Homo-oligomer: A and B are copies of this chain.
Amino acid sequence: MPGTSSRELPSWNDCAAKTAIVAFVEGCTRDGPDFVAAPDRIATFDNDGTLWVEQPAPPQFDFLLRRWAQDAKDHPELASEQPYKAIVERDMAFFERLAVQDPAVVATLEKAMARSWAGTTPAAFEAEVRVWIDTIKQPRFGVGYTRLVYQPMLELFGYLKANDFRVFVCSGGGRDFMRVFAEETWGIHKENVIGSAADYAFTDGRLLRSDQLLGGLALGPGKPAHIFAQTGRLPVFAGGNADVDIEMLTVSSFSLLVNHDDADREFAYDKGAERSLAKAAELGWTVVSVRNDWATVFPRDGSPP
């Protein structure tokens, strides 16, 4: 293992995944058949389950459900409508239909998002996310969600940046939600965050959120499309952990798939990742075992990279 990478990826055990990462990056940066010109060195990473804990539910879900529970409390007439009804009645089966992108469920969530934020400014939304970051604790670990970023992935960001990669996050989750904490948590600028987003209009001197999405959801085939729109390229290095990352991982030269197999330190599950794990075996993607490959899972002090 070359010295540089060992120094820069200290939370990675010596393992096949680390060896593959280092070999790929060294190939990209060294004269030879695998050299990649610096402008083309785009790395993209999914967020939920790739950069931070997504169990028992994706963190943004916690944010949304709290807001909509409050809306249902303030406006009792909403309690008969979805998704408020499911929240009030704790009908988790309703939300599980979101995971499979049931169009009817997705539509109620889009409508609820528009109801909560259409016509508001970016600053109002950012302030609301900021309160959530600063006050809400993840139920199992008892710390704020942004403290549950994966330390090995932050080190990977640093290693890639040190080798002139430009690192982007591309998540089906909310672009503007992630941008609130991207700089302090990931050490990447807001413009390096790609995700599902509402369209905004500039009206009477202010940006106001519309009730429409800008482009589609950044999920599945939406990931390469959103990445191209933002960067003008497709990634040469991509990391994900789920079936909705398959297209992004397929277009990339190097593909990393995080396998959640550590019930002690994090969670063990493959629900929603069955097809991606099969694709990894079929196409020779690099699979990362949380249990075996990561010496440390979370940052010790929650400080930024």
A interface residues with partner B (beta carbon < 8 Å): 39, 122, 166, 175-176, 179, 183, 189-191, 193, 197, 199-203, 205, 207, 214-215, 221-225, 228-234, 247, 250-251
Contacts and interface: CB of A to CB of B under 8 A. Distances in A.
Contacts of A191: 166, 191, 230-233
Chain copies in the assembled complex: 2
A223 B207 CA distance: 11
B225 A202 contact: yes
B207 A39 contact: no
A224 to B, nearest CB: 4
A191 B189 CA distance: 13
Contacts of A201: 221, 225
Contacts of A225: 199-202, 207
> A-B pairs with the 5 shortest C-beta distances?
A190-B232, A202-B221, A191-B231, A202-B224, A179-B232
Contacts of A166: 189, 191
Given A199-B215, A225-B207, A193 B232 contact: yes
Contacts of A190: 39, 231-233
Given A179-B232, A214-B214, 14 more contacts: A122-B228, A166-B191, A176-B232, A190-B232, A191-B232, A197-B229, A199-B215, A199-B225, A199-B229, A202-B221, A202-B225, A203-B221, A214-B229, A215-B215
A225 B191 CA distance: 14
A199 B228 CA distance: 10
23 contacts: A39-B190, A122-B228, A122-B232, A166-B191, A190-B231, A190-B232, A190-B233, A191-B191, A191-B230, A191-B231, A197-B229, A199-B225, A199-B229, A201-B221, A201-B225, A202-B221, A202-B223, A202-B224, A202-B225, A207-B225, A207-B234, A214-B214, A214-B215
Contacts of A215: 199, 214-215
A109 B237 CA distance: 37
Contacts of A205: 250-251
Contacts of A122: 228, 232
Contact of A202 (B175, B203, B231, B247): B247
Contacts of A176: 232
A228 B200 contact: yes
Nearest to A191: B231
